[in-house]
Structure 1
Amino acid sequence: MPEYTPPDFEAADREVAEALSTLKRHGLQVNFPEDVQKRLDSYILFEGDDGLFKALLPSVKNYFEYGCGKSTEYLYKYSNVNIYSVDTSQEWASKIQGLSKDKGDNRLNVKWVDVGPVIDWGTPESFVKRQNFAEYANWFWELGVDPDLVVIDGRFRVCCFLTSIKFAPVGTKILFDDYADRPSYHVAEEFLPVIDRCGRQVLFEVDSHAKEKVDDDVISGFRNVVG
């Protein structure tokens, strides 16, 4: 008799979650009993608006992320992507970097930037350490690595968006989280057009025309906008 191989329920749950993400992206919502939904939640990112994010991943080798969290953990566990993430919360940065402890690889690289005491969602409590704000936006771009995808999901979002335009190669994708319902972020469209949407997220692609618009003066105008 062939050797018995137990079913991989984790992989099955992940496949179901990814199917749900695709369906939601196309306007179809499927509800499960509470116990099943709770099990699937481990694989659902951005409160379910993750269909576009997951669709982009197969073409990503190097991934930059402003603000670490559940998406970082998901990528580290279920992909071979090289991850570079920056955060203003020392607690979160340490927790996520700890995922790679004793793993013997260097795919996960998390940087904590000290912007002073932080409140909810890593927001600086004051401007006492504003001299460090630039480090948060710039850290990735000093590593000598070109990203395939940049996710804007942390603090200083408009500044980070503009910094990404300045330094990223033409053709780099930028996925901006929490964008749709926050008009303060829509200034981004003065520099690049939205090329795709998924719920609260929108996608941009760096082009040479945008690079001509973004200079240090433009970036510095948003340096202390912490949202």
Structure 2
Amino acid sequence: MSMDQESIAKPELTFSPEVADLVRDTYARARVILEYGSGGSTVLASEMPGKTVFSVESDKRWTRNLQAYLDQAGTASDVHLHHSAIGKTGKWGRPVDHSGYRRYHRYPLEVWDRPDFIAPDTVLIDGRFREACFYAVMLRSTRKTVVLFDDYGDRPRYHAVERFAEPVEMRGRMAKFVLRKRALPREALTQIVGAFTNAF
């Protein structure tokens, strides 16, 4: 390994052991993975053969560094990092102000419009706009989809999604959902649209 390779640290999983086990087991059974939020989970998926991975990230520098690591380490699967430009961001890709609010809807949705996009069978929600990402999957998915929603257990504001689906499993703070293509009720439009303005 060259010095250049040694200078790029491998992003590690930051989940608790029980959550990490759920992610590993779910990814092992997946064929197409969509991640909202990139990092150690992306590296994990990249090391599993036979996967196609799309990973959405709002932090441009983090995206660039992760791409550099994957380029040097090599991948066993196809990994597509998708930077979503939602304005100036700080720690964890969080917007530092609302100057980019006109682009907020792009984070959950625009990856689905890529010409090379393949509908996922597995989605990890661990980034920004988490409730909106859940609704994006409900609106855009074309098949049964397993959704892993991190930090769900201790953040009651996310539980608004239970109007449409309930978790089938809780593992630590992570909730597992199984979503199927369905029409959303018209009276839920206010709730759904409102979620696309909340970056948390």
Fold in common (TM above 0.5): yes
Q: Which portions of structure 1, spanning 4 or more consecutive aligned residues, are displaced by more than 6 angstroms?
A: none
2:6 corresponds in structure 1 to none
Once residues 27 and 56 of structure 2 are traced to their aligned partners in structure 1, the CA distance between those partners, rounded to angstroms, is: 19
1:113 corresponds in structure 2 to 84
Alignment equivalent of 1:171, drawn from 137, 144, 148: 144
- Percent identical residues: 25
2:122 corresponds in structure 1 to 149
2:28 pairs with 1:58: yes
Whichever structure has more helix as a proportion of its residues is: 1
Contact conserved, 2:27 with 2:33, CA < 8 A, in 1? Answer: no
Alignment equivalent of 1:101, drawn from 56, 71, 75: 71
Contact conserved, 2:47 with 2:77, CA < 8 A, in 1? Answer: no
Counterpart of 1:156, as a letter, is: F
Q: Report how many residues are paired.
A: 185
1:80 corresponds in structure 2 to 50
Gaps of 5+ in 2: 1-10
Map 1:176-195 to 2 at 5 A: 176-195=149-168
RMSD over aligned Cα, in angstroms?
2.3
2:102 pairs with 1:131: yes
Contact conserved, 1:196 with 1:204, CA < 8 A, in 2? Answer: yes
| Secondary structure of residue in 2 paired with 1:116 | coil
Instruction: Return the offset for 1:153.
Output: 0.4
Query: Greater RCO between the two (CA within 8 Å, min separation 6)?
Result: 2
Map 1:33-44 to 2 at 5 A: none
Counterpart of 1:113, as a letter, is: S
Once residues 95 and 159 of structure 2 are traced to their aligned partners in structure 1, the CA distance between those partners, rounded to angstroms, is: 22
Once residues 46 and 89 of structure 1 are traced to their aligned partners in structure 2, the CA distance between those partners, rounded to angstroms, is: 20
Gaps of 5+ in 1: 1-41
Range that drifts further, 177-186 or 213-222: 213-222
Alignment equivalent of 1:47, drawn from 7, 12, 16: 16
Instruction: Return the offset for 1:130.
Output: 1.1
